[in-house]
Every structure is written in structure tokens, then in C-alpha cells.
Amino acid sequence: MREPNNERTKSWTEDPYFTDALDALIEKRERGLRFITLDMEAISEVISNCDGPAYRLLDAMVNIKETEGYHGMRGAPRVLLATLYRLAEISKTV
């Protein structure tokens, strides 16, 4: 089981896990990427890891709610897309 993070959550904008994935996704979309496929078996092997996609997304969303609440939480769609891209990487489909 994952231990709760008692520290102030790091901004997703400072985390290469999300920022690098967004950069790669933007580049691939500019080259015509429209679809990604997810390998559920591959994802299932890592989804619950302490530092896996589910918990990283959760931490990022908590940070977004804490820091962007008055600004429409515009980071939420970005971290979701970045996480989907990371899941596609795990699936070896991008």
C-alpha cells in the first residue's frame, strides 16, 4: 500500500514525467497521431506501483486543485493527456 505524501505536492509543471510526455505528445500529434492503443495487461503490471501512473496522476490532480482552483484547473486535461501518453508508452504503442 502506498504511503500518503505528507509534503506539499510538487507542481506537475516541474515534473518531467508529465512535461516530457506532453512535449512528446504534441510532437506526435503534429506528425498526425490521432489514436493510441493501450495494452491492459502491460498497464496492469505497473498501474498500482507506488510511483506508477495512477498515483502520479492523483498527486498531480491534488496539486492542480490546490494551486489552480481559482484559474479553472486548466492543468487537469494536460496531466490526463500526459498520463494517457505514458500508458501508451508502457503499452509500446507510441
Residues 25-36: pLDDT tens digits?
999 999 999 999
Query: What is the pLDDT at residue 39?
Result: 96
Q: Is the pLDDT of residue 69 over 80?
A: no
Average pLDDT over residues 15-30: 97
Q: Give this prediction's pTM.
A: 0.85
Is residue 83 predicted with pLDDT exceeding 80?
yes
- 36: which 3 cell numbers? 493510441
Distances (CA, A) of 22 to 15, 32, 41, 51: 11, 15, 24, 18
What is the predicted pLDDT for the residue at 7?
A: 52
**Phi–psi pair at 39, nearest 5 degrees:** -90, 100
Burial string for 46-72 (b: 16+ CB within 10 Å, else e) reads eeeeeebbeebbebbbebbeebbeeee
Q: Which residue has the higher pLDDT, 83 or 72?
A: 83
Among 85, 55, 87, 75, which Cα is nearest to 12's?
75
